[in-house]
Amino acid sequence: MILITLALIGIILGGLGLYAGLTARKRAVLAFEECAEMMRRQLQVTSGAGDNRAVRDVAIVHYDALKEVSGGLSFSLAMLNALGDGVVLTSINGRTETRTYARVIQSGRSQQVLSPEEDHVVRAARLGRGPSIRLDDRLDVRVNGQPSSPA
């Protein structure tokens, strides 16, 4: 009886390990493809005579930041150049007040911790998915204009 129980526990743990491994592989493939897409976009810019300081990548996402206000009045806006430098502007709108934040982005990263919405809009801008995106967009990486399909 004990051996059967241990065998069942082993099978369950093995299945969970396999699931975790496959999920990690899928996320790694997506991250790799996203990085390759960003590098491809960077090479397109550096091979031309364009100005690397000009704002090139823009994305904005509207969302409901507070439960008291609906209608997608809050937003995060990313404006980045070809090198991934720029700003993210975030406006959190409530019934009685509005708060606005600006965060500096250098090489696609911020010195400060970004909110999930800010991170999403920066990634969308870097991948050229703007100008208007939704939070539920998965930001699938496109290779040569076609959506990728990781195994």
Give first-to-last CA distance, the chain, whole Å: 39
Average pLDDT, the chain: 81
Q: Compute CA 49 distance to the chain's CA centroid, rounded to the nearest angstrom.
A: 28
- With a pLDDT cut of 70, the percent of the chain lying above it is 81
Side chain identity at residue 105, one-letter code = I
pTM (2 d.p.): 0.61
pLDDT of the residue at 46 = 62
Q: Band of the pLDDT at 102, cuts 50, 70, 90?
A: very high
> Which has the higher per-residue pLDDT, 102 or 48?
102
CA angle 64-66-68, nearest 5°? Answer: 105
pLDDT of the residue at 67 = 75
**Domain range list for the chain:** 1-49, 57-133
The answer to whether residue 138 scores a pLDDT higher than 50 is yes
Closest CA to 42 of 79, 80, 88, 87: 80
For residue 107, give the 3-state DSSP assignment: coil
